[in-house]
Structure 1
């Protein structure tokens, strides 16, 4: 279910980015040639020629975003991360568009089409496209981000998390996740070997669900998506079982402290 949701989200981003690039390129033409904001040294080229180029440019922008890693979903990604990712991706996409149109025009167009100005794009259009594409793409991603926050607050699409270890480290993990509910995590509870002594008290109202040996069954019953391992280093032997569980169940496991945890 979660993987299908993530794939759908990536497809949504790709489609939104493609459409944003199309609109940005068309609007750049309108601003350059139809508004009078920039003086014309020669008659404006036909709009339909730019429309033919727009899908090619949009595909290059999506490819640039892929190279930039904008379609690798990462919770905790900030607005600053998104903005600079979109900016660098748009710069790369624009550069690819310039080089691509020049290459095709130079090596693959007939002399007749070259004389008619096919694939010639105004430098002002490229500049305007870059600015507009950054604005449109960033705005669309902010819209998606806002929709996700609303869904997560409503309990939809949350990643279910269990913490292995209810000591100081495990409680610190719980504190961090509970303080950042906007990231879309839901802590189900803890597992710790102290449960074998009949202790069912967890932390901050979160239950102690069982021992580390019970983790496979608990993960299956509670439909756990991610495991945060907050065990003392001297209990490394117990961690090996979690590694095996991760490999069998396809769940994500994070060892604390780790760079993944610090991004929270």
Structure 2
């Protein structure tokens, strides 16, 4: 039997979440209908509001279970927990509104719903943060620890131990190492847990000491020993976690696929490979781009007039870019430079104080207004609102040989804005850093992540000092 109390802890989390939602409900009801702070009277009885509050609580718990909110959270970051909580409750709130619509319950106070949502997110976030911080302090002080045994004292095992030292708040302590080839650690400058013997001592160590998890950090040559190791750990009730000898080739969150009944490690799992995710993103792109074109049409009209008045040539600049599945497409922008031959435009990098720019064009670039016609690219299906920025084929041919994993970004549609851009990686910035952010986006895509990037793009402004 595994030494885990996760089921009990999950029940505690669910209970406290439910209590927090009830507290938020009662507080919102008092603020709206009892405090006298807000105008209006109670259109429905308290029991009706309570019923819908219970519907929301049940819905939030179910969504939380399906979204993984109640999975073991020891290894997750505090910001990840809060973000996951926000996703669950925003989705649950949308579900509640749907239920109210289909039940034709039109007399529920909108102000009450807004107050309830705000208080609910605040109460549960504060409670989760308090619990997480308390556990961090307890673990740093030596309480609530979990004990690890590392199989393999080579470079992989030692590096894992050194990395673990950077996160004392996780509450893990390494009891020791087992290794068939080493009796002592080579000098490293770090005090290392002892090597307790060879792998044949695994059963003995697990029986005589309280070990929670066994980390297998063995080379591929020891593959034939894995079955026996896993069986021994299962019999002792210890979890087994394997660090692949080729872990540096894997993404941060590798995904196990199934092909012909055989489990496979999918080295590049991309959520947007799933049809449902692609449809959701495409529908959002169409709706958002239509709204953006309508809202920004006066700005685009002024930009078009300004371009015509300040320099001869077309209003729209068309340029070939590489997009989804390495297929090229024509990207639209407002023209910001004097007209030149197409070869120059396709092969020259824009630099600071570029003499090819017009004065009005420099303004359009700094404010990102020159990018607005790309919403028509989104409508055509060449681009998405959010995604890696597309590059010219001429530079793609250079970067794919110079920048590791550069071509991976073409697994999804390019975007008008992206995770790299919201982190300041625009214009004359590191291509490697941009690709690292693009890969993170590809592997961690979610609808809420797209909304976060759009919100950050708006909040951090469109003015870019690196846009030449």
- Kept in 2, the 8 Å contact 1:163–1:170? The answer is yes
- Kept in 2, the 8 Å contact 1:2–1:157? The answer is no
Q: Deviations for 1:142-174, whole angstroms, at most 9, x for unmatched residues?
A: 111122223323433221101111111111011
Alignment of 1:1-264 (within 5 A): 2-4=3-5, 6-35=6-35, 38-40=38-40, 44-103=43-102, 105=103, 120-194=107-181, 199=183, 204-257=191-244
- Kept in 2, the 8 Å contact 1:19–1:58? The answer is no
Q: Secondary structure at the match of 1:206?
A: coil
CA distance in 1, matches of 2:239, 2:218: 16
Q: Once superposed, what is the RMSD of the aligned Cα atoms?
A: 2.8
Q: Deviations for 1:80-131, whole angstroms, at most 9, x for unmatched residues?
A: 211221111101221232333454x45xxxxxxxxxx7x9422222222222
Q: Secondary structure at the match of 1:254?
A: strand
Q: Which has the higher contact order (CA 8 A, sep 6+)?
A: 1
CA distance in 1, matches of 2:91, 2:12: 21
- Larger deviation, residues 185-194 vs 91-100: 91-100
CA distance in 2, matches of 1:12, 1:146: 17
- Kept in 2, the 8 Å contact 1:246–1:253? The answer is yes
- Kept in 1, the 8 Å contact 2:3–2:238? The answer is no
CA distance in 2, matches of 1:190, 1:82: 32
- Kept in 2, the 8 Å contact 1:254–1:261? The answer is no
CA distance in 2, matches of 1:26, 1:102: 23
Q: Which runs of 5+ in 2 are unaligned?
A: 254-468
- Larger deviation, residues 203-212 vs 62-71: 203-212
With structure 1 as the length reference, what TM-score do the two structures score? 0.81
Shift of 1:3: 1.5
- Kept in 2, the 8 Å contact 1:192–1:212? The answer is yes
The residue that corresponds to 2:299 in the other structure is none
CA distance in 1, matches of 2:53, 2:80: 27
C-alpha change, 1:80 and 1:251, in structure 2 (3 Å) is same
- Kept in 2, the 8 Å contact 1:26–1:54? The answer is no
With structure 2 as the length reference, what TM-score do the two structures score? 0.48
Q: How many residues align?
A: 246
- Could you say which structure has the larger radius of gyration? 2
Shift of 1:36: 5.5
- Kept in 2, the 8 Å contact 1:60–1:93? The answer is yes
Q: Which runs of 5+ in 1 are unaligned?
A: 107-116
